[in-house]
Structure 1
Amino acid sequence: MSETLQILQKYWKHENFREPQEEIINSVLKNKDTFALLPTSGGKSVCYQVPAMVKEGICLVISPLIALIKDQVQNLQSRNIKAIALLGGISQNEIIELLDNCQFGNYKFLYLSPERLQQDWIIERLKQLPINLIAIDEAHCVSQWGHDFRPAYLKINLLKAHFKTTPFLALTASATERVQKDIIENLALENPIVFKKSFARENLAYHVINTEDKFHKIKQILTKNPQSSIIYVRNRKSCIEISNQLKALNISSTYFHGGLNIKEKDTNMALWMQNKVQVIVATNAFGMGIDKPDVKTVIHIQLPENLENYYQEAGRAGRNNEKAFGILLIDSNDIKAAKNQFISVLPDKTFLKEVYIKLNNYFQIAYGEGFNETFSFNLNQFCTQYKFPVLKTYNALQFLDRQAIISLQNEFSEKISIQFTTPSKEIIRYMSLNPHSENIITTILRTYSGIFELETQINTSLIAKKANTTEDNVLKVVTNLEKEHYITLQVQNNDSSITFNEVREDALTINRVSKFLEKQNDLKTNQLNSIIHYAKTNACKSKLLLEYFDEKEITECGICSFCISKKNNKSTNSILVEEVFHLLKHSNLTSREIESQLSITTEDTIFAIQILLEKDKIAINNYNQYYLK
């Protein structure tokens, strides 16, 4: 048995590699620069984690997704593999300490975001580490034609000049030919061995269903397929509403979005992962790092932003290789709504500059200051204060995040500030009467000088770490101190945090990145047009997706909504059209009422209605009822 397979079985408990994981690993072990295009569920992380365990030294992993970095580090640590991450919002001294641990502590993995490479001193420190492999995850971000381009990724090739004999491994789940060439060029990969797995998913049936009553259709789908499912929605409010509607129909459900606190996320996720509920209703904040093989159905209620995202999200179904469904529900208003959501809310240079200046003013950052400062942030409060439209502002902040000007983390947090209001001798007396609280209180007093004189924001996670306890215990002690009137306590909820990665320079900063903003806006418009084309074109849905990713010589899948409809007998279709026409002679009806009265499928109903509309035999009124003209 090979050493790589032994490591896979020992740490990851898999019996064998998936194709082409082993070939990629062998390429890396031969110190070859390697490019791997593995679609969703292809197992990208194993491709760098296993060879890094074989080699002496530490693997440097560069990833733009903070949530995924956290998940990967926790996952490795749970397998007793030493891993560490340089995340935003930590001081230079803390970074130095973490890098010292990497150098002398026998760590196997160091994760960081590409923005860290913009700090020259960090690159110099990295050069001192025994790096055995440099893995670039989400490598499409290197390309200006990628759907999440981040200029900070362009700094990676600076490492190439120093680590000349260290293999580079670029990994992505979605990249067109143009993006692939851009990645190889921008990373300065030398004669890379390229591995590309087809995007085809033979067990996954892509369905595009036109329906004016989406919830009725969801009920039909989930009743017919009672296995584990995901429903993707556009916003947080819809998560809760759809989940509650499903519960009312006795379909077990929970929800997930970026505004939940960590405990709520973990609880809801566990319910779904353990199959205690059938459905998780989620925004696109959900999914990275999720590997649940038995998902039967993924439903999108609205048009996604691009085909890259749609492919990855729909691809979370059927990872056990059993028949599964990726379903997109659309109605007559969806294209207009998508353009309003994704195109009309794109910020231009003027708006971006205004948001950036107001953001600095909001946190009272002076010109030339603000570097590496982190603040709790509530988007709605910020927009209310400056009368900004929320979606357009969020897109502006996301752009600033991708350009590494700020780091925006969409995680629920509580800003906790306290001030001791009783003399220190009373606190000592309290600790003697409550010895279980002594360690935590002592840690707070040692960490925050002046906490008797001023209201001070405390970091409960840091206190828990220093006191060798849990964050819940810290919160209990603080709450009890307030109840006993020893402190004043202020708690402010925030749905995200912002770290400033540069000093404030206003126009200089925005002028530098405005060319990327223009490219991004053009790219997003083209990407939305691509998914509209996918939804509206009468062609094999699997074939349309594969063509988008530049695959050639593709045959029709035979299982998507188009292929199934094509199999229908033409004479049967003619009868259906006549039946619907005859039914509408008696009364005006909605599509759902037609479907119910004739006991036919939604697809057949839509087909008959479309034929009658095209022949100008019927029309629709303001009540969504069809009537004879």
Structure 2
Amino acid sequence: MVKAEEILKHYWGYDSFRTPQKEIINSVLAASDTFGLMPTGGGKSICFQVPAMMKEGICLVISPLIALMKDQIENLAKREIKAIALTGGISVDETITLLDNCLYGNYKFLYLSPERLEQDWVFEKIKNLPLNLIAIDEAHCVSQWGHDFRPSYLKIGNLKRFFPCVPFLALTASATAQVKQDILEQLKLEKPTIFQKSFARDNIAYIVTETEDKLHKIEQIVKKNKESSIIYVRNRKTCYALFNQLEQLGINSTFYHGGLSVKEKSKNMSLWMAEKAQVMVATNAFGMGIDKANVKSVIHIQLPENIENYYQETGRAGRNGEKAYAVLLVGPTDVATAKSQFIYSLPDKEFLKLVFVKLCNYFQIAYGEGMNAQFPFNLNDFCSHYTFPITKTYVALQFLDRQGIIRFTQEYSEKVTLQFSIESKEVIRYISLNPTEEQIIVSFLRTYPGIYDYPTAVNLSLIARKSNRPVEEVETVLMRLKEKNIVDFTAKTNDATVTFNEVREDDRTINRVSKYLEKQNDLKKEQIASVFDYVTNHDSCKSRFILNYFGEKNTSNCGICSYCIAKKEKSSNLPQLGQLILQYVSEKPLSSRELEIIIDCKEQELIFALQELLDEEKIILLPNNKYTKA
């Protein structure tokens, strides 16, 4: 058998594995069920891709993330490795063809969304495949205690009956001790070999900074540390606003969110990867498959939803092993805002049902119908139509997605509807006078036969491929045809796609999943409470707090986080600093930034002194975020 290192070198260009990649691969090759808890950036995909390439047969990869599947398939294709993805929204006929290709087409990887295992006929097809490994990515989704539980993951354990000799490999980047135990039980792993890499990132300084002026703080950080940075924001509006503010400050930046087109995402990503933009301002849509070693700072300007996501996002810093910073900027109203976003927006059963029913009505899906129906979707339009609160509706749609009822994919799309407004003989005459446009126009006519008779939804990317022309040229030709009144066309932008994975059954559908809703709501409340504890606790090391959260006990202080720094800097001059603060705020109310400038002290010293004075009730914080003498 060819060696694992030879496969790694030949296809991926690396000379050696990271710990514990080689150990996991050896366990899989020994046909042992294996569990790998590897923090973000640990190279989980290599753990199943390398052994699968060493053995005859196909590796089945179960993953809930469509974007991740597409990313991995594209990367495998670049290495001339054949892989197929079976996601939601693919017709039955196409699914059968894809599965037949797996059987006879020399494919090495079949990527599958967990909802597909709930379809009996798909399950039957998979039973006939020559599987050499079953890899479960994002394995925390199998646990009801995980932050992204999906009931469809519970079906995975059934594969054990049909593939008793095929090893299972469960991988996740974030799991508490309770979640880990639940994964092992739910997947029915037999005497699994367990590999758990410590969550400790010794080179990352976890900094929690209380500030009233986040933009000023960001400017200080990125100008001091000139290497690449990521700034995570909550939504697209903030993404654009912060990007523009940074550009005005002379900080070379770019941005990334789920509403961008594929072309825009690729362009902005390239700018950042090539060091042409120092800062990437992004929503949590950014990060999948990103492996940039020299990220110096990951900054969050709003509170994260849970410690799991925060740890994953901050883990994109310092992968070169050099010191890096994970900075969380906290304003006076951030806790209240987070409660509104993450607690008060949790849907109950009645609202969940209302959203589902209205969603079906919105797309005119009759009772008992809708299986595999797919629609472009704009969340704002939907919420405006039914006067629904946007955040609460978004959370409800996410829950329906996790339960496998719908597939809610947040990707930019542009729906173009086209109709020729002149007779066919006039179109032929136009082509003869404009031969450079012939290939594009003929591609439209051949692909969409009814385009003369009624407005027809067209796919510009498909036309570009068929005519062997860039999409930009297709768009230019369309604009020219419209200006000359040869065609009528409209373009509507959508920020998501909704696919119905099952028929509409209203009460029966919602009653089936509502038992999970209450449990998930309780879990989310516990998780955000841990985030509040993380930012408000001034008595423990931040790195140690995170390690304890993930079940690592008997840890020591890191020495580089905001708590450890403040502890070091708490010196004999603290009483003098307190006296200075009292002197200045007695004259007039001042903000922490104003005090920092007047006194010319270190920020962490100032924060510590202010906290001491607040605890001793010598000063008070006014509604305008300024301090005054009590």
TM bucket, shorter chain: over 0.9
Indicate how the Cα distance of structure 1 residues 622 and 527 shifts in structure 2: closer, same or farther if over 3 A, else same: closer
1:83 paired residue number? 83
The one-letter code of the counterpart of 2:581 is V
Where do 1:408-447 residues align within 5 Å?
A: 408-447=408-447
1:296 paired residue number? 296
1:127 paired residue number? 127
2:100 paired residue number? 100
1:457 aligns with 2:460: no
Between 399-408 and 204-213, the greater mean CA deviation after superposition: 204-213
Structure 1 residue 90 displacement after superposition: 2.3
1:346 aligns with 2:326: no
Q: How many residues align?
A: 629
Structure 1 residue 252 displacement after superposition: 1.1
1:539 paired residue number? 540
1:529 aligns with 2:529: yes
1:134 aligned counterpart, secondary structure:
strand
Q: Write out per-residue CA displacement over residues 534-585 of structure 1, whole angstroms, 9 at most, x where no aligned residue.
A: 1112201111111111112211111111111111243122221122222233
List alignment gaps of at least 5 residues for structure 1.
none
User: What is the CA–CA distance in structure 2 between the aligned matches of 1:136 and 1:473, rounded to whole Å?
Assistant: 42
Q: Write out per-residue CA displacement over residues 132-157 of structure 1, whole angstroms, 9 at most, x where no aligned residue.
A: 11111100001111100011111212
**Cα contact 2:569–2:605 (8 A) shared by 1:** no
User: What is the CA–CA distance in structure 1 between the aligned matches of 2:72 and 2:475, rounded to whole Å?
Assistant: 27
User: What is the CA–CA distance in structure 2 between the aligned matches of 1:496 and 1:88, rounded to whole Å?
Assistant: 14
Indicate how the Cα distance of structure 1 residues 483 and 101 shifts in structure 2: closer, same or farther if over 3 A, else same: farther
Where do 1:210-359 residues align within 5 Å?
A: 210-359=210-359
Between 601-610 and 406-415, the greater mean CA deviation after superposition: 601-610
Q: Write out per-residue CA displacement over residues 239-269 of structure 1, whole angstroms, 9 at most, x where no aligned residue.
A: 1111111111111111111111111111111
2:450 aligned counterpart, secondary structure:
coil
The one-letter code of the counterpart of 2:195 is F
**Cα contact 1:143–1:149 (8 A) shared by 2:** yes
User: What is the CA–CA distance in structure 2 between the aligned matches of 1:113 and 1:460, rounded to whole Å?
Assistant: 27
The one-letter code of the counterpart of 1:546 is L
Q: Write out per-residue CA displacement over residues 198-247 of structure 1, whole angstroms, 9 at most, x where no aligned residue.
A: 00111111111111222221111112211110111111111111111111
Indicate how the Cα distance of structure 1 residues 574 and 413 shifts in structure 2: closer, same or farther if over 3 A, else same: same
**Cα contact 1:211–1:606 (8 A) shared by 2:** no
1:296 aligned counterpart, secondary structure:
strand
User: What is the CA–CA distance in structure 2 between the aligned matches of 1:463 and 1:161, rounded to whole Å?
Assistant: 46
2:264 aligned counterpart, secondary structure:
helix
1:185 aligned counterpart, secondary structure:
helix
**Cα contact 1:211–1:602 (8 A) shared by 2:** no
Where do 1:537-616 residues align within 5 Å?
A: 537=537, 538-616=539-617
The one-letter code of the counterpart of 2:568 is K
1:65 aligns with 2:53: no
User: What is the CA–CA distance in structure 2 between the aligned matches of 1:380 and 1:492, rounded to whole Å?
Assistant: 13
Indicate how the Cα distance of structure 1 residues 433 and 155 shifts in structure 2: closer, same or farther if over 3 A, else same: farther
2:170 paired residue number? 170
Between 454-463 and 141-150, the greater mean CA deviation after superposition: 454-463
User: What is the CA–CA distance in structure 2 between the aligned matches of 1:481 and 1:121, rounded to whole Å?
Assistant: 47
Q: Write out per-residue CA displacement over residues 95-118 of structure 1, whole angstroms, 9 at most, x where no aligned residue.
A: 222222222221111112111112
User: What is the CA–CA distance in structure 1 between the aligned matches of 2:102 and 2:464, rounded to whole Å?
Assistant: 23
Structure 1 residue 480 displacement after superposition: 3.8
2:54 paired residue number? 54
Where do 1:345-494 residues align within 5 Å?
A: 345-466=345-466, 470-494=470-494
Structure 1 residue 454 displacement after superposition: 1.6
The one-letter code of the counterpart of 1:409 is T
**Cα contact 2:134–2:169 (8 A) shared by 1:** yes
Structure 1 residue 440 displacement after superposition: 4.2
2:133 aligned counterpart, secondary structure:
strand
1:187 paired residue number? 187
Indicate how the Cα distance of structure 1 residues 446 and 159 shifts in structure 2: closer, same or farther if over 3 A, else same: farther
Q: Write out per-residue CA displacement over residues 462-483 of structure 1, whole angstroms, 9 at most, x where no aligned residue.
A: 4445555554444344444333
1:624 paired residue number? 625
1:285 aligned counterpart, secondary structure:
coil
User: What is the CA–CA distance in structure 2 between the aligned matches of 1:378 and 1:302, rounded to whole Å?
Assistant: 25
Between 212-221 and 460-469, the greater mean CA deviation after superposition: 460-469
The one-letter code of the counterpart of 2:97 is E
Structure 1 residue 92 displacement after superposition: 1.7
User: What is the CA–CA distance in structure 1 between the aligned matches of 2:625 and 2:144, rounded to whole Å?
Assistant: 43
User: What is the CA–CA distance in structure 1 between the aligned matches of 2:218 and 2:239, rounded to whole Å?
Assistant: 14
2:520 paired residue number? 520
**Cα contact 1:135–1:169 (8 A) shared by 2:** yes
Indicate how the Cα distance of structure 1 residues 483 and 260 shifts in structure 2: closer, same or farther if over 3 A, else same: same
2:500 paired residue number? 500
**Cα contact 1:229–1:280 (8 A) shared by 2:** yes
Where do 1:32-51 residues align within 5 Å?
A: 32-51=32-51
Between 498-507 and 427-436, the greater mean CA deviation after superposition: 427-436
**Cα contact 2:565–2:604 (8 A) shared by 1:** no
User: What is the CA–CA distance in structure 2 between the aligned matches of 1:457 and 1:420, rounded to whole Å?
Assistant: 12
Q: Write out per-residue CA displacement over residues 509-554 of structure 1, whole angstroms, 9 at most, x where no aligned residue.
A: 1111101111110000000011111111220111111111111221
**Cα contact 2:103–2:129 (8 A) shared by 1:** yes
Between 327-336 and 344-353, the greater mean CA deviation after superposition: 327-336
Indicate how the Cα distance of structure 1 residues 530 and 121 shifts in structure 2: closer, same or farther if over 3 A, else same: same
1:451 aligned counterpart, secondary structure:
helix
**Cα contact 1:293–1:319 (8 A) shared by 2:** yes
**Cα contact 2:372–2:501 (8 A) shared by 1:** yes
The one-letter code of the counterpart of 1:170 is A
Structure 1 residue 77 displacement after superposition: 1.0
The one-letter code of the counterpart of 2:169 is L
Q: What TM-score, normalized to structure 1? A: 0.97
User: What is the CA–CA distance in structure 2 between the aligned matches of 1:160 and 1:430, rounded to whole Å?
Assistant: 63
The one-letter code of the counterpart of 2:571 is K
**How large is the Cα RMSD of the aligned pairs?**
1.7
1:571 aligned counterpart, secondary structure:
coil
Indicate how the Cα distance of structure 1 residues 320 and 267 shifts in structure 2: closer, same or farther if over 3 A, else same: same
Structure 1 residue 445 displacement after superposition: 3.3
Structure 1 residue 439 displacement after superposition: 4.4
**Cα contact 2:570–2:605 (8 A) shared by 1:** no
User: What is the CA–CA distance in structure 2 between the aligned matches of 1:474 and 1:32, rounded to whole Å?
Assistant: 53
User: What is the CA–CA distance in structure 1 between the aligned matches of 2:427 and 2:142, rounded to whole Å?
Assistant: 54
**Cα contact 1:232–1:301 (8 A) shared by 2:** yes
1:198 paired residue number? 198
Q: Write out per-residue CA displacement over residues 14-33 of structure 1, whole angstroms, 9 at most, x where no aligned residue.
A: 12100010010111111111
User: What is the CA–CA distance in structure 2 between the aligned matches of 1:23 and 1:151, rounded to whole Å?
Assistant: 30
Indicate how the Cα distance of structure 1 residues 447 and 100 shifts in structure 2: closer, same or farther if over 3 A, else same: farther
Indicate how the Cα distance of structure 1 residues 383 and 143 shifts in structure 2: closer, same or farther if over 3 A, else same: same
The one-letter code of the counterpart of 1:555 is S
2:89 aligned counterpart, secondary structure:
coil
Indicate how the Cα distance of structure 1 residues 188 and 474 shifts in structure 2: closer, same or farther if over 3 A, else same: farther
User: What is the CA–CA distance in structure 2 between the aligned matches of 1:333 and 1:441, rounded to whole Å?
Assistant: 56
User: What is the CA–CA distance in structure 2 between the aligned matches of 1:122 and 1:427, rounded to whole Å?
Assistant: 46
2:452 aligned counterpart, secondary structure:
coil
Indicate how the Cα distance of structure 1 residues 390 and 109 shifts in structure 2: closer, same or farther if over 3 A, else same: same
